[in-house]
Amino acid sequence: MDLLRFGAARHLQLFTTTYRSMHLLKNKAFVDGKWQHAANNAVFPVTNPADDTVIGEVPDMSEKDAKFAIDVASKAFKSWRDSTARERANILRKWNNLCLENVDHLAEVLTAESGKPLAEAKGEVIYGTSFLEYFADTARHVTGEIIPSPWPNKQILVTRHPIGVISIITPWNFPFAMITRKVGALLAAGCTCVIKPSEDTPLTALAAVELAKQAGVPDGVVNVVTTSRNNAASVGKLLCEDPAVGCISFTGSTNVGRILYGMAAKGIKRVSLELGGNAPFIVFPSADLENALDQAMLAKFRNNGQACVGANRFLIHESVFDKFIEGFKGRIGKKCILGPGTKAGVTCGPLVNKMQVDKVSGLVDDAVSKGAKVVVGGKVAKELGDKFYQSTLLVDVKPSMEIYHEEVFGPVAVCYKFKDEAEALEVANSTRGGLASYVFTKDLGQVFRMSQKLEFGMVGINDGIVSVAEAPFGGIKESGIGREGSKHGVEEYTDIKYTLMSALDK
């Protein structure tokens, strides 16, 4: 701990006036409506992946702090659950408006800690707030049912009730939107929460809840417990196992999701798991190739490839393969401008941390050593720093290569040539991941067959971006359980109660 403080102090000398002037930069966790230290005063530094400067320090909270936050959320639930849907909708709408008013300030914080270009950070804030707006509207439409009973003197009443305290664990790749997508829905349902953001990106979470406080979210209803990676597992365990928690809502890797699911099972807790993907991007001969290429750029290089719905395997029909690769190469050369996220014109920032760089490099090196051909990229862009990876295009990829099966989660497009629809389907479905998939074709029958047979929670036809607040986002197989966004997103945070009303004729 002292060592950590010492290291942070050394790095803090690099602290620049840019960070000091950031309007929404916080250096404490947020519990019970107050900015709080860790009980043992521990802190950890948050660094900018573009240049390793320290943006600030935040509390390195432990189980004791997380327990306090759960208790606070549990107490707050007793009154929040009795608020009216209209009151909750109004608060969500105010939070949405404040986020939109502060889009530039939120984006500055987001870019500083995640590395993504400023324009992309603003895009994430706008996308993330759309969930607050959507759930503000949805709050007043969480309804029950009266079901015709088989008895003349009885009524079957079905009502929905907020689950209670929700534990939220979020990743670094969309540090704003992954929070609003969950918190917007659970607040609309009448639940309270404790959020544990990633070690890499706690500052965006804190900035977001500062605005939630200004919007009138009552004390204790939304809490943020910041932890370093050292404390993630122990705090995560408590967030899953504490009896006061009713549901664990997690977005992150399938491996961690599996651990949390196991812990939640001990208390028969509800879970909402948004896990890793392995999206196929399939291009058939009838496709509009220019559109397919434009969408391929979005599906692969948005967020520098660090997206769960990002295209992970390009399956291209043999008749259009060479043309597609030529077009892809040209677009990557023109549109992927690597550099720090604050520099004008940059479209691809650094990867978030050294672990990500090592993972992406390892997968590419393994593929190349087994015969894959690099069309563009394929290396760390050392001239920019140790976290910048060149936008990469690989062909001649085979099942013997790790990259054929793994979620790359980086700026590497992996291309595979197929002969017919049956082969495309077989390759696409040969994974335990089942989040997003993309199909490019003008053949209507093929659209229906692919929509029917692809084993994925989401299918984009002639489009590389599927996520929107109005639609149910989520995966099947090892990509998760539950849905976020849409009316289903709120229902995740409610329990159904059946009341039998009898003796109505007496």
Least CB distance to ligand NAP at residue 261 (A): 11
| Minimal distance, residue 492 CB to ligand NAP, in Å | 13
Site string for ligand NAP, 251-280 (x = CB under 6 A): xxx--x--x--------------xxxx---
Task: Give the β-pairing of 436-440 and 279-283.
Answer: parallel
Residue 1 as a binder of ligand NAP (CB under 6 A): the answer is: no
Q: Does 126 bind ligand NAP (CB under 6 A)?
A: no
User: How big is the chain by its Cα radius of gyration, in Å?
Assistant: 24
**308 binds ligand NAP, rule: CB under 6 A:** yes
Q: Which member of 108, 133, 274, 406 is catalytic? A: 274
407 binds ligand NAP (CB under 6 A): yes
311-317/458-461 β-pairing: unpaired
Q: Is 471 in the site for ligand NAP (CB under 6 A)?
A: no
Q: Is 435 in the site for ligand NAP (CB under 6 A)?
A: yes
CB of 333 to ligand NAP, least distance (A): 27
99 near 215, Cβ under 8 Å? no
Exactly one of 89, 169, 194, 238 binds ligand NAP (CB under 6 A); which one? 169
Interface with ligand NAP in residues 175-204 (CB under 6 A): 196, 198-200
Name the one range near ligand NAP by CB under 6 A: 8-16, 54-62, 171-179, 380-388: 171-179
Min separation Cβ 427 and ligand NAP, Å: 20
Active site residue: 99, 191, 193, 308, which one?
Answer: 308
**Listed ranges 56-64, 122-130, 167-175, 395-403: which one lies at the site for ligand NAP (CB under 6 A):** 167-175
Identify the residue among 146, 158, 233, 496 touching ligand NAP (CB under 6 A).
233
308 is catalytic: yes
Question: Residue 212 in contact with residue 95, Cβ under 8 Å?
Answer: yes
* Cα–Cα distance list, 226 to 25, 31, 84, 300, 442 (Å): 14, 10, 30, 31, 48
- The 3-class SS string of 26-73 reads CCCEEECCEEECCCCCCEEEEECCCCCCEEEEEECCCHHHHHHHHHHH
Tell me whether residue 274 is one of the annotated catalytic residues. yes
The contact mask relative to ligand NAP for 200-229 (x = CB under 6 A, - = no) is: x----------------------------x
Q: Which residues contact 31 (CB under 8 A, 6 or more apart)?
A: 65, 68, 69, 72, 220, 223, 224, 225
Q: What is the 3-state secondary structure (H, E, C) of 408-471?
A: CCCCEEEEEEECCHHHHHHHHHCCCCCCEEEEECCCHHHHHHHHHHCCCCEEEECCCCCCCCCC
| Residue 232 engages ligand NAP in binding (rule: CB under 6 A) | yes
Does the footprint of ligand NAP cover residue 173 (CB under 6 A)? yes
CB atoms within 10 A of CB 251: 25
Point out the residues that are catalytic: 274, 308
Name the site residues for ligand NAP (rule: CB under 6 A): 169-174, 196, 198-200, 229, 232-233, 236, 251-253, 256, 259, 274-277, 308, 407, 409, 435, 475, 480
